[in-house]
């Protein structure tokens, strides 16, 4: 078995490589990255059948060449509103099965539009196979399969803003999700609503607890109604902790239009204003006074503890009818590592494809093609999934 990990030397990519090596020790895992030195270092560290190759995500020929002959390619290269469909097209040309962690709603739409091309090429492509989307979608599917009729599905996430290894693509994705109007699903149809609207407090598993989340641009409302029939409402809401300064400053940036892609000129250099925000966010630890950084970290420590300081939470709630009664199933997880919580689902999904457990051809979201019971059984070996059921009025 041969697996290519695009962006395999990066933040999430290196986690995916480690998970693949752990779960399939006899597989040939190729770490493909523009940072060839980083890829070589990781391959040397892991040993075995790992190797490194250079790849340029902006060069289709480079992508096609590195993916040819593999059983599956895993892409962790973001932001996905830039690279999602571009890399999937290369996988289709290479006729290589494909899995990514696409968490951008517009990138996901573009990928789903390539379904027929992927089907004709005879490949399976699963987009959004991470934590959110990914695990959130599969938890939603699992709950929906327990109901006789599904009415509503609500997904939510809360992500660390303290992790020092977070890269620019993740920060750019966050600002993208909080910009302008974003898609949701209401009354059986897709509509656009203001980002960061309709805040509410939801319960995540311990130690995260109650966190305020708001509407953000994410793939779950785009994909879930395509596969879970009869559902009338699908939402996705998210948040970054600690709530101050991230919630407040993001709202200001979004309201002022500073989180978008409009370009401004500074000393003769034109650049998207979002690039400036990304750079400022990544440099926050260096720019902010030490006492401010200490206070922010302390507040997070007091709430969630040191073990989960760089963690993440995800939640899916499904409402409908079971045996004639209004019923709600809720699933969730709180995990210590934001890296592993995305890398583990990606690795499991990729191995399911490579081993032939998924035979459908075309482009799918996880809930469209992954066996929810089998997936949750496998991921529960590493990540605890919390479940509740209750009758509702």
DSSP 128-181: --BTTTBHHHHHHHHHHTT-SEEEEEEEEEEEES--TT--HHHHHHHHHHTSSE
Judged against a pLDDT cut of 80, whether residue 307 lies above it is answered with no
Helical (H) or strand (E) element with 54: strand 50-54
135-337: CATH number: 3.30.360.10
Which residue, chain included where needed, has tokens 């974003």? 182
Average pLDDT over the chain reads 94
Across residues 110-125, what is the average pLDDT? 98
pLDDT tens-digit series, residues 55-112: 999 999 999 999 999 999 999 999 999 999 999 999 999 999 999 999 999 999 999 9
Judged against a pLDDT cut of 70, whether residue 393 lies above it is answered with no
Q: What are the structure tokens assigned to 12, written together?
A: 């999430």
Estimate the share of the chain in helix, then strand, then coil, as percent rounded to the nearest 5. 40, 30, 30
Residue 159 CA neighbour count, 13 Å, CB half:
24
Which residue, chain included where needed, has tokens 């997904």? 155
Across residues 203-231, what is the average pLDDT? 96
Across residues 223-232, what is the average pLDDT? 97
Residue 376 CA neighbour count, 13 Å, CB half:
20
Judged against a pLDDT cut of 70, whether residue 308 lies above it is answered with yes
Asked if residues 20 and 351 have their Cβ atoms less than 8 Å apart, the reply is yes
pLDDT tens-digit series, residues 236-256: 999 988 777 788 888 899 999
Which residues are CB-neighbours of 303 under 8 A, at least 6 positions away? 207, 209, 241, 242
Map out the domains of the chain as residue ranges: 2-130+339-379, 135-337
Q: What pLDDT, on a 0 to 100 scale, did the predictor assign at position 166?
A: 75
Q: What are the structure tokens assigned to 13, written together?
A: 């990519």
Judged against a pLDDT cut of 90, whether residue 149 lies above it is answered with yes
pLDDT tens-digit series, residues 9-47: 998 999 999 999 999 999 999 999 999 999 999 999 999
Strand ranges across the sheet with 72-75: 50-54, 28-33, 2-6, 72-75, 98-100, 124-126, 362-364
Q: With pLDDT > 90 as the criterion, what percentage of the chain qualifies?
A: 81
pTM: 0.95
Burial class (CB in 10 A: 0-12, 13-18, 19+), 108: buried
**Which of 44-48, 115-119, 281-285 has the weakest average pLDDT?**
281-285
Q: What are the structure tokens assigned to 66, written together?
A: 């590195």
Class for domain 2-130+339-379, per CATH? alpha beta
Q: What are the structure tokens assigned to 365, written together?
A: 């979201």
Q: What pLDDT, on a 0 to 100 scale, did the predictor assign at position 386?
A: 95
- Virtual CA dihedral for 139, 141, 143, 146, nearest 10 degrees? -150
Confidence category of residue 391, pLDDT binned at 50, 70, 90: confident
* Residues in the chain, overall count: 393
CA proximity to 182, closest of 262, 274, 263, 108: 108
Which residues are CB-neighbours of 30 under 8 A, at least 6 positions away? 2, 3, 4, 5, 8, 50, 51, 52, 53, 66, 70
Q: With pLDDT > 70 as the criterion, what percentage of the chain qualifies?
A: 99
């Amino acid at each position: 078995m041969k697996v290519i990990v695009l962006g395999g030397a990066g933040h999430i990519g290196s986690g995916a490589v480690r998970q693949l090596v752990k779960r399939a020790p006899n597989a040939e895992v190729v770490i493909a990255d523009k940072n060839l030195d980083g890829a070589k270092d990781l391959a040397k560290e892991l040993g075995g059948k790992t190797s490194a190759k250079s790849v340029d995500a902006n060069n289709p020929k480079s992508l096609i060449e590195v993916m040819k002959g593999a059983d599956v390619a895993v892409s962790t290269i973001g932001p996905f509103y830039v690279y999602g469909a571009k890399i999937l097209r290369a996988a289709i040309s290479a006729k290589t099965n494909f899995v990514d962690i696409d968490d951008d709603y517009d990138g996901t739409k573009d990928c789903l539009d390539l379904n027929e091309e992927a089907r004709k090429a005879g490949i399976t492509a699963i987009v959004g196979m991470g934590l959110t989307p990914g695990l959130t979608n599969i938890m939603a599917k699992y709950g929906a399969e327990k109901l006789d009729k599904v009415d509503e599905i609500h997904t939510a996430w809360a992500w660390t803003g303290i992790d020092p290894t977070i890269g620019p693509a993740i920060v750019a994705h966050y600002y993208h999700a909080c910009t302008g109007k974003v898609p949701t699903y209401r009354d059986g149809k897709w509509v656009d609503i203001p980002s960061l609207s309709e805040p509410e407090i939801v319960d995540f598993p311990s130690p995260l607890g109650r966190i305020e989340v708001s509407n953000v641009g994410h793939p779950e409302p785009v994909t879930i109604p395509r596969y879970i029939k009869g559902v009338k409402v699908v939402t996705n809401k998210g948040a970054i902790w600690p709530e101050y300064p991230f919630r407040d400053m993001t709202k200001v940036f979004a309201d002022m239009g500073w989180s978008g892609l409009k370009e401004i000129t500074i000393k003769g250099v034109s650049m998207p204003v979002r690039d400036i925000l990304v750079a400022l966010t990544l440099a926050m630890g260096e720019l902010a006074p030490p006492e401010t950084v200490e206070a922010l970290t302390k507040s997070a420590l007091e709430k969630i503890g040191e073990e989960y300081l760089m963690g993440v939470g995800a939640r899916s709630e499904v409402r409908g009818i079971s045996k004639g009664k209004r019923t709600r199933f809720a699933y969730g997880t709180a995990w210590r590592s934001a890296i592993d919580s995305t890398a583990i689902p990606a690795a499991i999904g990729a191995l399911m494809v490579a081993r032939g457990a998924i035979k459908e051809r075309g482009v799918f979201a996880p809930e469209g093609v992954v066996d929810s019971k089998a997936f949750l059984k496998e991921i529960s070996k590493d990540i605890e999934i919390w479940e509740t059921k209750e009758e509702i009025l």
